[in-house]
Amino acid sequence: MARATAEFHKAKPFDQRRDGVPATVHALLERLGLRPILLESFARVEDKLFWAKLVETMIANRLDDPRSKLAIAEDWYRRTSLPFLLSLPPGKFDEDDLYETLGLLGARQERIERRL
């Protein structure tokens, strides 16, 4: 028994991912058809898929564990299943990209709302 306890105390905790809400948001956006609406709204924007993925990231964060844009980019995102679901590795965006995404959304808000 003492040996098992000693081994337990030496063990390092494994990384845990937040899967439930991010995976549910990912599935809902697909089911609701939001991704095509975003891609259409970002039609004249370079790398529109990247920006649509950041929108999804911010929606999932708001529902899962609301954080600042900096905390999303530096901590929260990498601890979720989103890097796998979105094929967007952690470190490929920063808080400035998230703020730019908000600007893109704001400029297209009416168009997106009409489509929804």
Q: Residue 78: name the closest of 9, 15, 12 by CA.
A: 15
The pLDDT score that the predictor gives to residue 19 is: 80
Sorted by where each begins, the domain ranges of the chain are 19-115
d(CA 22, CA 19): 6
Confidence band for 20, pLDDT divided at 50, 70 and 90: confident
Residue 80 phi/psi, 5-degree rounding, is -115, 180
Q: pLDDT at position 8, please?
A: 47
How many residues does this entry show for the chain?
116
Instruction: Examine the pLDDT at 13 and tell me if it is beyond 80.
Output: no
Q: What is the pTM of this model?
A: 0.83
Q: Is the Cα torsion angle 104, 41, 47, 92 positive or negative in sign?
A: positive
Q: What is the structure's pLDDT at 16?
A: 64
Q: CA-CA distance, 62 to 68, in Å (whole number)?
A: 10
pLDDT, greater one: 8 or 99: 99
d(CA 38, CA 56): 10
pLDDT at 86 over 50: yes
3-state helix, strand, coil in the chain (%, to 5): 70, 0, 30
Question: Per residue in 25-73, pLDDT tens?
Answer: 999 999 999 999 999 999 999 999 999 999 999 999 999 999 999 999 9
